[in-house]
Amino acid sequence: MNKCLTSVILVYVLCTQATVLNAKAEDLSEFSLERLLEVEITVASAFTEDQLTSSSSVTVVGRQQWRRYASRNSHDVSTHIPSTMSYPSLGSGSTAVRGYGNTSSGIGLATLLDGVPINSLAFSSSQWPTPNLSLETLDRIEMIRGPGSALYGSDAFHGVFAQSTYMGNESELEGTLSLGHRGYYQTALRGARLFNNGSSLSMAISGDGQPDQDIRYEYMEPFTSTEHSSQYENNYHTESLSLRFDNEGERKGAYQRAGIYVNNHDGVDFPGTGKLFGSNQQRDKEHIDLESSFYMARADMGYRFDNEFQLEINTAYWESQLDHLLDFSQVTPAFLGGVSGFQLTRNRENKRLISLVAQQSDSIFDTDWVIETSYSESKITDNRSRFFDTNYTLLSDTESNSTGFDRRSKSAVFQAKTWFLGRKLAALYGGRIDDFSDIGIQRSPRLGFIVQPDRKNAYKYLFGRAFRNPSANEINGVGVAPGNPNLSPEVIDTHELIYMHVENRWRLEVVLFYSDWKDGIILDGTFENSGNNKAMGIELIAEGSIDDWLWRSSYSYIESENTTTDIEYGAFPKMIVNADIGYHFQGKGIEVNVSNRINYDVDEGPTTSVDPNPDSLPHYWRVDLQVTKFYGDQSEVSVSILNLFDRENYVPSIWNSENGIADQEITLQLDWRHALF
């Protein structure tokens, strides 16, 4: 009863107080109906859509917004997206969507880089192999909260995380620098050159990182039950590069796009595998180190014909490398085959893909349609586990069954949106068929209706089915976790009811959703299909402006459980609130922004056989303050205080580390941006 009352009170506060995210003048100072409807959504369809007519529940976050959050990486950005939770995991982060928080969080979220899927075959995720693609190489992030397999196939299960790299609209050169008082640094250079034929060459290069952070954690000695403490260092360095050529051509005729992308990341002493062995066997060595690298090239070309018909061919190739080093020197040798020491796991893989896309906006039948056929091949070239004793003498070098493992797929997609009744009713329909070399055929249908009685309101019903194939690690095992060759693909059906309203200077979105997830794959001693799961919830999103005040807010309440075991997904908060408010001082070039994040009713980790009764975490509330001074259009300087009230906040550990993982302590950060021309 008290929880329900608290939820009602917070919804009331959320809907009645001004809660903001500020942005530069070109973003929100002219917040109007036209500006709201101009927000482009590209991830939910082959065609550009607006918010009222988008084919999925989508959140769009631009560069200027995440700079106002003082975000350091994409996981920071995702914490401002409704119904989304980011967990520290294996030296990176794992993102869970709409209630499903467990050891597989981060798996089942398709990640796109300029439209190219970059999820790993070994992990079914990009969040470990590509843990920290620099935000300064990106322009925007779009996230589908819900199924996306009808467009993107396997891994677009719980959602789609689409990253668009920097593309200059004019010849320009810009530098940025960020410094934090605990040694955090970020520096970047972005520039573009526009040519007389309308084509452009854009480049962004960035480096960021931090030294040892000395983040305290406590653990229970497994044999004496006494309390002890140790530290995570969270030391890392990242280098990112994006280089892209774009020639969009004329309304009719040929166009070309190409890109080269590089990301290298090193991390030392991040939170490790928690209670993987049934208790905190690692004690003060519950750490993980990692090294990763990612390289990608893509090339697209197409031709626009009469009658809005368009034909396009897309090609891409990427390869990734990932090493994880775990300290098992204090783990009871019986868990490790009679030895103890350090385990190094290594994965090398690549992917190549090609697709042919035909699409048309047909004015005669008022239909947007797309047909796509594609072929992809993913291959793991090296997957092994090495074990060293405490003197770093090599004890074993075991090549896993995943080495040489490949997965080839052929797919066909048909999607359409047809308008009726003078564009007041739209039907969404279509689906995707994938034929995999090892799994077989998977089908992903999609259906929906949009009722738009006027340009201010829209009512939607959306249905989508998504699937996720078991990863190579889940089939063949990884490190000390044995594989299961009998795993089946996961399947999830999601239903959504959506109401959207847009006024002259604000908008409201209400989403009710229900999902039914079958044959979920989790790690609980071994990888297994864990039965059936369900989640249901509500999302409220509101944003707008009042005079010089700007605001952005979201609220979600979610209940999720494994219906086979009747166990709730306690590691995902029942309630998440984001409330951001900003004020622009006219004539002074100063903006003030305050961001709030609340996580309510969440456990320190998921319920598993090794931790059947995880403790509840204290309620999470973090407030960030930022003051920005603009010097014309050329420069800006921001001072941010993260975790303004220095609260001891904790987020769940999906590996059941005791007491969860400590969040950001109070931190001062200075950000500078200057346009050279």
Question: Residue 296: what pLDDT?
Answer: 98
Cα-flanking dihedrals φ and ψ of residue 78, to 5°?
-65, -25
Token reading at 242: 């994006």
**What is the C-alpha to C-alpha distance for residues 620 and 640, in angstroms, rounded to an integer?**
20
Q: What is the secondary structure of 616-666 as a DSSP string? A: BPPPEEEEEEEEEEEETTTEEEEEEEESTT----EE--TT--TT-EE---S
- Kindly indicate the confidence band of residue 35, based on its pLDDT and cuts at 50, 70 and 90: low
**Looking only at Cα atoms, what is the longest distance across the chain?**
77
Bigger pLDDT: 550 or 278? Answer: 550
**What is the C-alpha to C-alpha distance for residues 576 and 470, in angstroms, rounded to an integer?**
30
Strand partners of residue 435: 410, 441
User: For residue 194, what are the domain limits?
Assistant: 2-675
Instruction: Give me the percent of the chain exceeding a pLDDT of 70.
Output: 94
With beta carbons less than 8 A apart as the criterion, state whether 106 and 84 touch. Answer: no
**What is the C-alpha to C-alpha distance for residues 585 and 147, in angstroms, rounded to an integer?**
42
- Kindly indicate the confidence band of residue 239, based on its pLDDT and cuts at 50, 70 and 90: very high
Question: Residue 481: what pLDDT?
Answer: 76
* Whole-number average pLDDT of the chain: 89
Helix, strand or coil for residue 130?
coil
| Neighbouring residues of 495: CB distance < 8 A, sequence distance ≥ 6 | 461, 462, 463, 513, 514, 515
**What is the C-alpha to C-alpha distance for residues 478 and 47, in angstroms, rounded to an integer?**
40
Asked whether residue 34 carries a pLDDT value surpassing 60, the answer given is: no
When mean pLDDT is compared across 116-120, 526-530, 593-597, the lowest value belongs to 526-530
Instruction: Show contacts of 380-383: CB within 8 Å, 24+ apart.
Output: 380/121, 380/122, 380/347, 380/348, 380/349, 380/404, 380/405, 380/406, 380/472, 381/348, 381/349, 381/350, 382/346, 382/347, 382/348, 383/122, 383/346, 383/347, 383/348, 383/349, 383/472, 383/473, 383/476, 383/478
With beta carbons less than 8 A apart as the criterion, state whether 40 and 52 touch. Answer: no
When mean pLDDT is compared across 219-228, 338-347, 612-621, the lowest value belongs to 219-228
Q: Which of 317, 297, 319, 318 is nearest to 382 (CA)?
A: 319
Q: What is the mean pLDDT of residues 260-281?
A: 87
**What is the C-alpha to C-alpha distance for residues 189 and 468, in angstroms, rounded to an integer?**
38
Q: What is the secondary structure of 391-422 as a DSSP string? A: T--EEEEEE-TTTT-EEEEEEEEEEEEEEETT
Strand partners of residue 319: 295, 350
With beta carbons less than 8 A apart as the criterion, state whether 507 and 477 touch. Answer: no
Burial 250-272 (b: 16+ CB within 10 A, else e): eeeeebebbbebebbbbbbbbbb
Count of alpha carbons within 13 angstroms of residue 654, beta-carbon side = 25
Asked whether residue 537 carries a pLDDT value surpassing 90, the answer given is: yes
Give a three-class secondary structure readout of 83-102: CEEEEEECCEEEEEECCCCC
Asked whether residue 103 carries a pLDDT value surpassing 80, the answer given is: no
With beta carbons less than 8 A apart as the criterion, state whether 392 and 342 touch. Answer: yes
* 475-505 tens-digit pLDDT: 998 766 788 888 999 999 999 999 999 988 8
**What is the C-alpha to C-alpha distance for residues 454 and 418, in angstroms, rounded to an integer?**
17
| Neighbouring residues of 603: CB distance < 8 A, sequence distance ≥ 6 | 570, 571, 614, 615, 616, 617, 652
Question: Residue 36: what pLDDT?
Answer: 56
Alpha helices in 52-201 (DSSP H): 63-68, 74-78, 149-152
Q: Which of 51, 58, 235, 71 is nearest to 138 (CA)?
A: 71
- Kindly indicate the confidence band of residue 6, based on its pLDDT and cuts at 50, 70 and 90: very low
- DSSP class of residue 278? S
H or E stretch including 357? strand 341-362
**What's the sign of the alpha-carbon dihedral 332, 335, 337, 339?**
negative
Question: Residue 1: what pLDDT?
Answer: 40
Q: Which of 581, 513, 511, 594 is nearest to 553 (CA)?
A: 581
Bigger pLDDT: 88 or 514? Answer: 514
Give a three-class secondary structure readout of 194-262: ECCCCCEEEEEEEEEEECCCCEEEEEECCCCCCEEEEEECCEEEEEEEEEEEEECCCCCEEEEEEEEEE
| Domain count within the chain | 1
**What is the C-alpha to C-alpha distance for residues 190 and 34, in angstroms, rounded to an integer?**
30
Output the pTM of the full model.
Answer: 0.92
Q: What is the mean pLDDT of residues 401-430?
A: 96
H or E stretch including 314? strand 309-328
Bigger pLDDT: 539 or 287? Answer: 539
Question: Residue 23: what pLDDT?
Answer: 36
With beta carbons less than 8 A apart as the criterion, state whether 661 and 617 touch. Answer: no
Indicate the Cα dihedral angle 104, 533, 160, 575, nearest 10°: -90
Asked whether residue 16 carries a pLDDT value surpassing 50, the answer given is: no
**What is the C-alpha to C-alpha distance for residues 382 and 398, in angstroms, rounded to an integer?**
11
Asked whether residue 509 carries a pLDDT value surpassing 60, the answer given is: yes
Question: Residue 31: what pLDDT?
Answer: 47
**What is the C-alpha to C-alpha distance for residues 338 and 329, in angstroms, rounded to an integer?**
12
Q: Residue written as tokens 């927000």? A: 39
Asked whether residue 178 carries a pLDDT value surpassing 70, the answer given is: yes
* CA angle (285 as vertex; 282, 286 as ends), nearest 5: 65
C-alpha of 343 from chain center = 28
What's the CATH number where 614 sits? 2.40.170.20
**What is the C-alpha to C-alpha distance for residues 675 and 252, in angstroms, rounded to an integer?**
34
Q: Residue written as tokens 């035909």? A: 358
* CA angle (296 as vertex; 291, 301 as ends), nearest 5: 170
